Amino acid sequence: MAQGAFVGTPTLSARLGHPFSRLQIAARQGRSGRSTLAARRCRGTIMSAADQSVAHTVGWTAVAKKIDPFWMAPEYETGPYRSSRPWEIETQRLFGHKEPALTFYRDTFFWCPYCEKVQLQLELKQIPYKIVKINMNCYGSKPAEFLRKVRNGLLPAVEMNGEVFVESTDIMYLIENRFASHHPLLPPKTDRQRSGDVDRMMKLERNLAGSWLNLLRGGGMLSALGRRAIQQDLDEVNETLGLYSDGPFFLGGNEPSLVDVQYCSFLERIAASVPYFQGLEVVGTGRWRHIEAWFEGMDSVPAYRHLKGDAYTHVRALPPQIGRCPIVESAKPFVDRVESAPLKQVLLFTDENRADRHEAAAAICRNYAAVTRDAMKGAQISADDVAFERLFDAALQCAAVALVDGPEAARATYQQSAPAFAASGRLDNLAAALAYEARRVCTPRDMSVAAAPLFQGALNFVRAELGAARAS
Q: How far apart are CA 253 and CA 247, in angstroms?
A: 4
Q: 36 burial class (0-12, 13-18, 19+ CB within 10 angstroms)?
A: middle
pLDDT of residue 27: 35
Helices assigned H by DSSP within 300-451:
302-305, 311-322, 332-344, 354-378, 386-405, 407-424, 427-438
Q: How far apart are CA 67 and CA 62, in angstroms?
A: 9
Q: How far apart are CA 334 and CA 338, in angstroms?
A: 6
SS (H, E, C) 253-319: CCCCCHHHHHHHHHHHHHHHHHHHHHCCCCCCCCCCHHHHHHHHHHHCCHHHHCCCCCHHHHHHHHH
Instruction: Give the domain 36-73+341-471 fold.
Output: Globin-like (1.10.490)
pLDDT of residue 58: 83
pLDDT of residue 77: 78
How far apart, in Å, are the Cα atoms of 285 and each of 132, 135, 290, 296?
A: 40, 37, 12, 15
Q: What is the pLDDT along the chain (472 residues), one digit of tens a residue?
A: 222 222 223 333 333 344 444 333 333 333 334 444 444 443 333 344 444 445 457 899 999 999 999 888 777 777 766 654 555 566 889 998 999 999 999 999 999 999 999 999 999 999 999 999 999 999 899 999 999 999 899 999 999 999 999 999 999 999 999 999 999 999 999 999 999 999 999 999 999 999 999 999 986 656 788 999 999 999 999 999 999 999 999 999 999 999 999 999 999 999 999 999 999 999 999 999 999 999 999 999 999 999 999 999 999 999 999 999 999 999 999 999 999 999 999 999 999 999 999 999 999 999 999 999 999 999 999 999 999 999 999 999 999 999 999 999 999 999 999 999 999 999 999 999 999 999 999 999 899 999 999 999 999 999 999 999 888 7
Distance of CA 178 to the CA centre of its chain: 30
Q: Are 201 and 259 in contact (CB under 8 A)?
A: yes
Domain map (residue ranges) of the chain: 36-73+341-471, 91-178, 192-305
pLDDT of residue 221: 59
Instruction: Give the domain 91-178 fold.
Output: Glutaredoxin (3.40.30)
SS3 110: coil
pLDDT of residue 334: 97
User: pTM value?
Assistant: 0.88
Secondary-structure class of domain 192-305 per CATH = mainly alpha
- Answer whether 36-73+341-471 and 91-178 agree in fold: no
Task: Please enumerate in sequence order all residues whose Cβ is within 8 A of that of 41, keeping only pairs 6 or more positions apart, or say none.
Answer: none
Q: Are 360 and 71 in contact (CB under 8 A)?
A: no
The candidate with the shortest Cα–Cα distance to 120, out of 47, 46, 172, 51, is: 172
